[in-house]
Structure 1
Amino acid sequence: MSTLSTHVLDAEAGRPAVGVPVRLEHEGRVLAEDRTDDDGRVRALGADLPVGVYRIVFEVDGPFYPEVVVAFRVTEPGAHYHVPILLSPFAFTTYRGS
């Protein structure tokens, strides 16, 4: 089964975003919740994820975005998924990391 990690970088401050609440959702249920560590990471947000569509909700509490939601699809059983975000006050970006 697949595993999941994430990373939040604060582009405005030029450093990791520490203490950001993060939750993993699937089919309307919360599967896991955590906060980013001192390096802006959640190293094991989900494990044993079957194929399907998931949502990571980052509670960033920014001046424009109160939260950032990234929906993604697990397609490869056993693969590791890393879904980071790069955050600034009025924008964010994401990609499939490694």
Structure 2
Amino acid sequence: MSAFRLQQLKGHILPANKITSMAGSPSPLTTHVLNIAMGTPGSNMALSLYQQDPSTSAWDLITTGTTNNDGRCPGLITQQLFTPGVYKLHFDTAQYWASMGETSFYPYVEIVFTINDPSQKYHVPLLLSRFSYSTYRGS
């Protein structure tokens, strides 16, 4: 396993890929983590965004980040980089629950989805408890 992947699994955010706020440039892809067990935002959760390479099926890392106090991670991807294809959002749920002194059945959650029309806005929320999760395409 690569050193990068080990750092990623440990929840470390590498500066070269860290999400930064894009003032005045809203991301066409957004997410929102909600801790439905406690009725609070899923704040301070590490996540990564990947796009699948159609020729090899390998996952190319686009960026990493951490949810803010509202459970959101602004600036996931620019409109210019947002192209048709298969994407994956990887959420480090084990670290999130461990930070609250809890364990979880799911060490991570990966949501894989297809983008056909990158001119649209896509919202991919994660509704989470220690023993379940759900998602949907929002707007």
TM-score computed with the length of structure 2 as normaliser: 0.66
Q: Within the alignment, does 1:34 sit opposite 2:70 as a pair?
A: no
Aligned-partner Cα distance in 1 for 2:86–2:36: 28
- Choose between structure 1 and 2: higher strand proportion: 1
Give the ranges of 4+ consecutive aligned residues of structure 1 lying more than 4 Å apart after TM superposition: none
> How many residues end up aligned between the 2 structures?
97
* Map of 2:92 onto structure 1: 59
Instruction: Write the letter of the residue equivalent to 1:13.
Output: M
Where does structure 2 lack aligned partners over 5 or more consecutive residues?
A: 1-26, 53-58, 98-103
**Deviation for aligned residue 1:33:** 0.7
Tell me, in whole angstroms, the C-alpha distance in 1 between the residues paired with 2:84 and 2:37.
Answer: 35
Identity percentage of aligned residues:
38
RMSD between superposed Cα atoms in Å? 1.3
- Distance across 2 between alignment mates of 1:44 and 1:87: 22
Match of 1:77 in 2: 118
Unaligned runs of 5+ in 1: none
Instruction: Compare the two structures and name the one with the higher helix fraction.
Output: 2
Residue 44 of structure 1: how far off its partner (Å)? 1.9
TM-score when scaled to structure 1?
A: 0.93
